[in-house]
Amino acid sequence: MKKLIYFAVLAAALVAIAAPQAWAAESDDDKFKMHGEVRFRGEYSSNLDDLDDDFDDQGLFWPYRVRLAVEGQFSKNVSAWIEVQNGGVAGGNFTSINDGGIPSFFRFGSVQNDGEGVELYQGSMTLDKLWSDRFSLTIGRQELVLGNELLLGDFDFYTGLSHDGATGRWEFDKVDVTVWYFRTNEGSVSNIAGSAPPGLGFIVPSPVDGGQDFYGGYATWHFKEDQDFDFYLMQQDYHDANGMLGGGDLADIATVGARYGREIVGENGFYWNIEYATQFGTGEFSGGQATEEDAGGDVIEAWFGYNFHNGNNDHKVYGRYSSASGDDPNSADFDGFIGVAGDVHNRLGRGDWFALDTFFYLTEGITAWSVGYNGFYNDRHELGVAYWDYSVEDDTGLLSDEIGEAIDLWYGFNYTKNVAFELSYSTLSPGDFFTSGTPPDDPDLRSGAAALLTGL
């Protein structure tokens, strides 16, 4: 209750701050706009810890996310976005479930806040038509969402992903270009007090971590009305501050890739997406200065389907294929694909059992294929079913390649323009990779019903 009261007070303060500014801007209500989201989701999971029902390991929990944003147009070409949020699990928590609902099965650690405080999720200023009518610059904390979010997403099903830095965008007639530089972790100094001079801020050089940088460029060519071609190059640098681990950077990872896709709604026709990315660079992926390796992972994601349009209804049937390379223990290089900042939800099924990131998940890599149906009825109802098959490439020859099969079912209902509900079910049948030839009972449920409210 205390944290909800705190959030309400903060929301009121934002309104109080925005209102006088709006009045000062010639009382134009369009100068400042409020945005928000309220989401409360119930999830039930069972058999996740040991993959069978011999142990009582089911759980019912209630992740939530509450956001409030103020968008301000300070002048013709200057705008700002300030957004705060609180996310966590109802009742509070102090365990790794604070991921906002990511299942414990192969999740990549506690990356979300624990719901005990309000955070600044975004805070940025945008300068339009800077130096050119086609160029804009955004500075501050911001999301970066491009393509199909395989590498650059917002993690919106959970509690989001934002970055600190600057983004520049050029918008031409058929080509959009985005470049960015983010400081993803500040480790070069410790005991930082950004509001105080160095002597008062106790700035101490870090003996180990020099911080992390993330930068790159992304171009999208809209060469047809419903088709896009993307090309991108991005770099992740993990710095060694003072050479305590042998000098140089701990890791420099470059990712280069391309995507070609077509989306279709409201008519009959084929739709597709295919994206491939490969990595190169060096890093101490196994820890220690004596284990520096060359990066050489790659990832592919593709789907192909047909949309049957009938009246106000769309019926999509499709097949999907996804693969991320794993690390070969017999190679001196690190061949596993290292994820960048992509979204994971529904990437490999609605249960989020796995992800296309072999550095934090399955080091053997993963291959997944799926067939499914997704129907949209009268712009209000959505119904879908999908089958998934998961496997790995075990270079040791000691394990089975089969890691499991899953079935997804889901139903969505748009109650109003800004309020929606969804109910989903996912069951995973573990394969011999985990069970040594004796498959246990299925982890039998991961479902969630969410109420979404946006556009406050």
Q: Name the least confident of 95-99, 138-142, 301-305, 337-341.
A: 95-99
On whether the CB atoms of residues 151 and 255 are closer than 8 A, the answer is yes
Hey, where are the domains in the chain?
124-454
Measured distance CA(89)–CA(114) in Å, rounded: 7
pLDDT at 78: 94
Smallest CA-to-CA distance from 68 within 33, 92, 23 is with 33
Residues 403-438: pLDDT tens digits?
889 999 999 999 888 888 888 998 888 887 776 545
Confidence of residue 443 (pLDDT cuts 50, 70, 90): low
37-64 pLDDT, tens digit each? 888 888 887 776 666 666 666 778 888 8
Average pLDDT across the chain, whole number: 79
Window from 97-101, 123-127, 154-158, 365-369 with minimum mean pLDDT = 97-101
Whole-angstrom distance, CA of residue 263 vs CA of residue 284: 40
Mean pLDDT of 218-223: 94
Segment among 160-169, 229-238, 242-251, 377-386 with least mean pLDDT: 242-251
Q: Which CATH number applies to 124-454?
A: 2.40.160.100
Instruction: Give 315's pLDDT tier (boundaries 50, 70, 90).
Output: very high
Query: For 95-104, what is each residue's pLDDT tens digit?
Result: 443 334 443 3
Q: How far apart are CA 391 and CA 410, in angstroms?
A: 24
Q: Give the pLDDT score at 29.
A: 58
**Of 240, 114, 237, 222, nearest to 173 (Cα)?**
222
Residue 242, SS3 per DSSP = coil
CA separation for the pair 178, 406 (Å, rounded): 37
CA distances from residue 214 to 25, 292, 376 in whole angstroms, order as listed: 37, 20, 38
Q: Could you give the CA distance from residue 372 to residue 319 in angstroms, rounded to a whole number?
A: 7
Smallest CA-to-CA distance from 448 within 17, 36, 6, 44 is with 44
CA dihedral 280, 282, 283, 288 (to 10 degrees): 150
CA neighbor of 336 nearest in space, from 281, 382, 383: 281
User: Which of the four pLDDT bands, split at 50, 70 and 90, describes residue 395?
Assistant: low
pLDDT value of position 50: 63
Q: For 320-333, write each residue's pLDDT tens digit.
A: 999 999 888 778 88
What is the pLDDT averaged over residues 191-201?
61
pLDDT at 392 over 90: no
Percentage with pLDDT > 70 across the chain: 71
Confidence of residue 201 (pLDDT cuts 50, 70, 90): low
User: Under 8 Å CB-to-CB from 192, ≥6 apart: which residues?
Assistant: 186, 201, 203
Side-chain half-sphere exposure of 375, counting CA atoms within 13 A: 12
- Is the CB of residue 314 less than 8 Å from the CB of residue 305? no
Is residue 278 predicted with pLDDT exceeding 60? Answer: yes
First to last CA, the chain: 22
Rg of the chain in Å (alpha carbons)? 23
One-letter amino acid of 4: L
DSSP calls for 342-357: ---TTTS-TT----S-
pLDDT in tens, 345-387: 999 999 888 889 887 667 788 999 999 999 999 989 999 999 9
Greatest alpha-carbon pair distance for the chain in Å reads 73
- In whole angstroms, what is the distance from residue 338 CA to residue 278 CA? 10
Going by pLDDT thresholds of 50, 70 and 90, the confidence category of residue 159 is: confident
pLDDT band at 222 (very low <50, low <70, confident <90, very high): very high
pLDDT score of 186: 78
- pTM, 2 dp: 0.82
Higher pLDDT, 104 or 338: 338
Residue 385, beta-bridge partner list: 373, 409
pLDDT score of 243 more than 50: no
At 213, is the secondary structure helix, strand, or coil? strand
pLDDT digits (tens, 9 = 90+) for 73-95: 888 899 999 999 988 888 775 44
Whether 147 shows a pLDDT value over 90: the answer reads yes
Collapsing DSSP states into helix, strand and coil, what is residue 39? Answer: strand
